[in-house]
Amino acid sequence: MKRIFGNHRWTWLTAGLVGLALVAGVGLGPHLGFTAGPKTPLWTERALDLAPSSVQAPNWVELVKQLKPAVVNVNAKRTEGGGSAMRAPFGQGDPFEQFYKQFGEGAPKRSVRSMGSGFIINPNGNIVTNNHVVEGATEITVKLSDGRELAAKVVGRDPKTDLALLKVEATGLPTIALGDSSELKVGEAVMAIGNPFGLEQTVTTGIVSATGRVIGQGPYDDFVQTDASINPGNSGGPLINSRGQAIGINAAIFSQSGGSVGIGFAIPSNQAKTVVTQLADTGRVSRSWLGVAIQPLTPELAKGFNLGDAKGALVASVTEDSPAAKAGIKAGDLITEYDGRKVSRSEDLPRLVADTPADREVTVTVLRDGQPMKLSAKVTKLDEPDQKVAGEVGEKGKLGVAVEAVTPEIAKQLGLKEAKGVVVKRVENGSPAANAGIRPGDVILEVDRQPVKDLGTLKQLVDKHAKGTPMVMLLQRENATIYVAV
C-alpha cells in the first residue's frame, strides 16, 4: 500500500495489513522468474579495507566518511489533478457528488514533488533507487553530496521488485559496492544512509532483525528486516554491512504513525543485482514462467496428503499447457527441489524460478503420495499482458502508455464485436498519449493508418514512426471510433 507522508511517497503497512499480507501468500498465481543478464556487472563487490574482526565493533565513522558521498537525494516531479483534483467531501451519496464529478474533471493539474534516496553503483552515473520513488515522474533531479544537481533519466523500472535504475551524465563518481546478501546473519550490524523527511545524508545504525521476510508486496518478497531507523525519505537508500557493502535497498517500514518504530525492510542486494543487470541491458525485466499456483504446506495438509514432516511448496493448481503441465506436475504435488536447490517453503519457489533463464530445462523434484519423483520442465518466457510500450515519460518520441492485448474475454467486457487491437490500461501523466487525450479503456485499432494486431505490431509501428510528425491513431472509445494525433 502506498501512502503519502508530506510530500514523500512511501510504502507503509498498518498492523492489520501486515497480518493480511502474510496470509496473502497462500495461493500465489503462476510463478515468474528472471532471465540472465549481461556477463559484465555494472557494480563492484569489493569490500573496503577496514573490515573489523569478529570481536571488534564496526568502524562506522570511517565507513560513513567513505560511503556518504555515493548516497544521493532523488527529487521526482509528478503531475496530479484533473479528475482527482476535486472530491465530494462526504463520499458516495453526497448531494454535491454530481457537482464535484462534473467540475472536478476539469480542475487544473498541479505539479508535486516527492523525495527519496538512491546510491551510485558505478563511476559513470548509474544509480539504484526504489520504483515507487520515481514511478509516474515527469522530471527527476539527483542531488549529489557535493551539492551538484543533475537531471536523471530512468533506464528502467521493475514494479514487481520495487527497483529502478537511473542514469546521470557524469563520470568519476564515488560508488558503493553491492555485497552478497545471502551471507547476512541475524544480529549482524548494519547502517542505513538516506534522506529521511528531507534531512540529507542522515546515518542510522542497528542490526539485521530477520531475513527472508514476506510482507505481501509481491511474488518476490524476500526482505531483510532491520531495526536501523528508517523513515519516509530513506526509500531507495542503501543498507550497509560492516565491510562497507550495500546488502539491501531500503524500501518499506511497518508503522502506525508514519515514523520509525524499529521495523524496516530492505530489498536484498542479490535480488537487486539480477534486476539491475537486466534493466541496464534492456530497460525491463524478462521473466520466466513455470505455470503453477502454490500454497504453504500446513501440518494439517501434510497429514492429509500423507507427506509426514516434509517441507516444500504445495501445488494448488497447474495452468493448462504450461511448462509445469507438460512436465507432468499435478495439483497436490509437493515441490521439494527445483534445479538442484532445496525448496523449504512456498516463498522459495518464485525466487528460484526467478533465477532461471527462459527456455532452460530444469529438474523438479516432487513428492506425490509420499513418493519422490524427478520431473523435467522447460520454463518459458512469460508474456506479461501489462507492459510499457515505447519507454518512459519524457523520452522523446515515446507514448507513455501501458497496454494489454484484446482477448475474447476483454472484448466481451468492452462490448467489442471482435478481439482485435490493444486496450490502454494506464496513461502516464504528462506523456504524449495523455496530452493527445488518450484514456484508459481506449482500444488502439490503427497507428498511421496501419492496423494494430497485437502488442508487437503496436511497438513496431511506434518505433518506425517518423520523428517530428504527428502520429495518427484510430481509437475505439465505447461505441464510437475517433482519431487522435500524438
User: 235 catalytic, yes or no?
Assistant: yes
The tens digit of pLDDT for each residue in 170-223 reads 999 999 999 999 999 999 999 999 998 888 889 999 999 999 888 877 778 889
Neighbour count for residue 158 (Cβ, 10 Å) = 21
Task: Note if 132 is an active site residue.
Answer: yes
Query: Counting Cβ atoms within 10 Å, is residue 103 exposed (0-12), middle (13-18) or buried (19+)?
Result: exposed
What is the band of 390 on the pLDDT scale with cuts at 50, 70, 90?
Answer: very low
For the chain, counts of helices (H) and of strands (E): 11, 31
| pLDDT, position 51 | 53
Q: What is the mean pLDDT of residues 436-463?
A: 84
- Going from N- to C-terminal start, the domains of the chain cover 41-99+107-285, 287-381, 387-485
Distance from C-alpha of 82 to C-alpha of 486, rounded to nearest angstrom: 20
* Per-residue confidence (pLDDT) for residue 327, from 0 to 100: 94
What number does CATH give the domain 287-381?
2.30.42.10
How would residue 26 be classed by pLDDT, with cut points 50, 70 and 90?
A: very low
Q: Which of 114, 132, 181, 465 is catalytic?
A: 132
Q: What pLDDT, on the 0 to 100 scale, is given for residue 225?
A: 94
Residues 6+ apart with CB under 8 A from 183: none
Please report, in angstroms and rounded to a whole number, the separation of the first and last CA atoms in the chain: 33
Is residue 246 a contact partner of residue 179, using CB atoms and an 8 Å limit? yes
Write down the pLDDT at residue 454.
Answer: 78
Q: Provide the 3-class DSSP secondary structure of residue 89.
A: coil
Averaged pLDDT, 20-49: 47
Q: Is the pLDDT reported for residue 112 higher than 60?
A: yes
- Return d(Cα 32, Cα 151) in angstroms, integer: 34
Confidence class for position 383, pLDDT limits 50, 70, 90 = low
Q: What is the mean pLDDT of the chain?
A: 79
| pLDDT, greater one: 19 or 60 | 60
| Annotated active-site residue in 8, 114, 117, 162 | 162
Tracing cell 531507523 back to the chain, one arrives at 229
Q: Which three cell numbers stand for residue 27?
A: 495461493
- Residue 299 predicted with pLDDT over 50: yes
Which are the contacts of 49, defined by CB distance < 8 A and separation ≥ 6?
A: none
Residue 241 pLDDT exceeds 70: yes
Q: What is the pLDDT confidence band of residue 110, given thresholds at 50, 70 and 90?
A: low
Residue 7 pLDDT > 80: no
Q: Same CATH topology for 41-99+107-285 and 387-485?
A: no
pLDDT of 301 above 90: no
DSSP three-state, residue 50: coil
For residue 420, the number of C-alpha atoms closer than 13 Å in the C-beta half-sphere is 11
pLDDT mean over 436-442 = 85
Catalytic option among 181, 229, 235, 242: 235
pLDDT for position 50: 63
CA 35 – CA 42 distance, rounded (Å) = 17
Tell me whether strands 387-389 and 371-378 are parallel, antiparallel or unpaired: unpaired
Q: Is 354 exposed, middle or buried (0-12, 13-18, 19+ CB in 10 A)?
A: buried
Fold of the domain built from segment(s) 41-99+107-285: Thrombin, subunit H (2.40.10)
**Is 192:233 a contact under the CB 8 Å cutoff?**
no
Assess contact for 336 and 365: CB atoms under 8 A: yes
Confidence of residue 391 (pLDDT cuts 50, 70, 90): very low
Kindly state which CATH superfamily the domain 387-485 is placed in: PDZ domain (2.30.42.10)
Please answer whether residues 126 and 143 qualify as being in contact, where contact means their C-beta atoms are separated by less than 8 angstroms. no
Bridge partners of residue 265, in order along the sequence:
225, 252
What is the rounded distance in angstroms from the CA atom of residue 457 to the CA atom of residue 423? 13
Our measurement of the distance from residue 242's CA atom to the centroid of its chain's CA atoms, rounded to an integer in Å, reads 27
DSSP 301-364: HHHHTT-TT--SEEEEEE-TTSHHHHHT--TT-EEEEETTEE--STTHHHHHHHTSPTT-EEEE
Query: In sequence order, what are the residues at sequence separation of 6 or more whose Cβ sits closer than 8 angstroms to the Cβ of residue 330?
Result: 315, 318, 368
Q: What band does 402 get if pLDDT is binned at 50, 70 and 90? A: confident
Q: In sequence order, what are the beta bridge partners of 32?
A: 289
Known catalytic membership, residue 463: no
Residue 262 half-sphere exposure toward CB, CA atoms < 13 A: 3
Measuring CA to CA, how many Å separate 103 from each of 10, 80, 85, 88, 132? 30, 16, 10, 11, 30
d(C-alpha 385, C-alpha 379), whole Å? 18
Bridge partner residues of 366 (DSSP):
335, 373
Amino acid residing at 230: I
Nearest to 446 by CA among 470, 475, 467, 426: 475
CA distance 311 to 473: 54
Q: Is the dihedral of CA 171, 176, 177, 179 positive or negative?
A: negative
Bridge partner residues of 279 (DSSP): none
Distance, CA of 307 to CA of 371 (rounded, Å): 9
pLDDT in tens, 302-360: 888 888 888 899 998 888 889 999 999 998 899 999 999 999 888 889 888 877 888 89
